[in-house]
Amino acid sequence: MNTPSVDRRVMMSITVAAVLGLGNLRLAAAPASELDRIASLVGDPEGYIDALLYAQFRTEAAKIAPGDGVAEVARYASSFGDLLLHRALSEALWDSAERSLTKRQVVRTPQLEGAEAAIRASETRTGRTRLSLYLEQTPKLLEAASKQSWAMLDGRAYTFIQSNVVTMRGSVDARIYRLATLFGPTFPPAKRRWNAPGCPVGFDTEVAISHIRENDPAYTIYRAQITESAALSAAVSTRGWRDADEVVLKQNMELEILQTKGKLANDLDRSRFRGTPSLRYLVEGTTTAFQFRAGRTWLIPQRKISVVLSILSNTSVSEAATWLDRLEDALVSA
């Protein structure tokens, strides 16, 4: 398979964001270099990292420094800044943004003050890095949050509504994981467990998965762009259900058929999954974006847990089914 261009990958990132409810989170003007373009894509809230993108990053580094591409990757990673400080600042920043949004006034938490102080101390030793951009833009970002407006930060436009801020908070760990993988000496990345705090179901996989916990503590959404052409969308509920199991199992399948204006592409698999009620299905749609779906609805009645796991593809039903196999294997219960 030919290596897709970064432009195409950026367009795919925007498309998946729109499909999964992030249409007002936009990528801004193109970064200054190919390395910047790749890092911007990988670090986007709905970004991803794979072997092709990893290799492309190193190819571009070798063009800048022929014969010493490894050193160029190290130089670039250093100029990006300490990723642990990126994580600490992002966590504190989006917490403050959510508070500012709720109270309609700028709120700066002790955690944000501490993260900023740690960055200033670090850059006294190392010199200016991209972390400086965050420090410079933070006041503007929090002011925008307090006014439910929008602001630019790190090449992206952020619209401050509740769902966007919650999304950004949920994506911090996954974004840092992808960037660390991009800058790392080897690929593939190590497998790790992705569990939203307090959620009884998660994933044990190399795919970097973001999660969203809205105001309802009984409901969690997992999602990730897996490749250029495939995305994960999963929902876990601990509310229980009143309807018969068969009705609950079919509801999401019927919704996906309706959304894609499609039809079932296989005989329904009603076999129990890990010992409890389940329905697995494939959908072939007629819409233009991510019309192919592979999904499983899984119920755990004794724990009042329902899991809806969907893979979306713009290539084929078989790609969606292959990734569903992998993500089913990665599914873990706490």
Per-residue pLDDT, 303: 95
Q: At a CB cut-off of 8 Å and minimum separation 6, what does 308 contact?
A: 234, 235, 252, 295, 296, 297, 298
Residues of the chain with pLDDT under 70: 1-32, 154
Pair of tokens at residue 172: 């911090």
The pLDDT score that the predictor gives to residue 98 is 93
> 26: which residues sit within 8 A by CB, 6+ positions away?
14, 156, 157
Whether the Cβ atoms of residue 328 and residue 296 lie closer than 8 Å to each other: yes
Q: What is the pLDDT of residue 116?
A: 97
Is the separation of the CB atoms in 46 and 16 below 8 Å?
Answer: yes
Stretch(es) of the chain classified as CATH 3.40.1000: 201-333
pLDDT at 164: 87
Q: Which two structure tokens, joined as six digits, stand for 94?
A: 């989006």
Contact 85, 111 (CB under 8 A): no
pTM of the model: 0.85
Per-residue pLDDT at 13: 37
* CATH classification for the domain delimited by 201-333, as one of 2.40.50, 1.10.260, 3.40.1000, 2.40.128: 3.40.1000
Report the pLDDT value the prediction gives residue 16, as an integer from 0 to 100.
Answer: 37
Bridge partner residues of 263 (DSSP):
284
SS3 98: helix
Output the pLDDT for position 315.
93
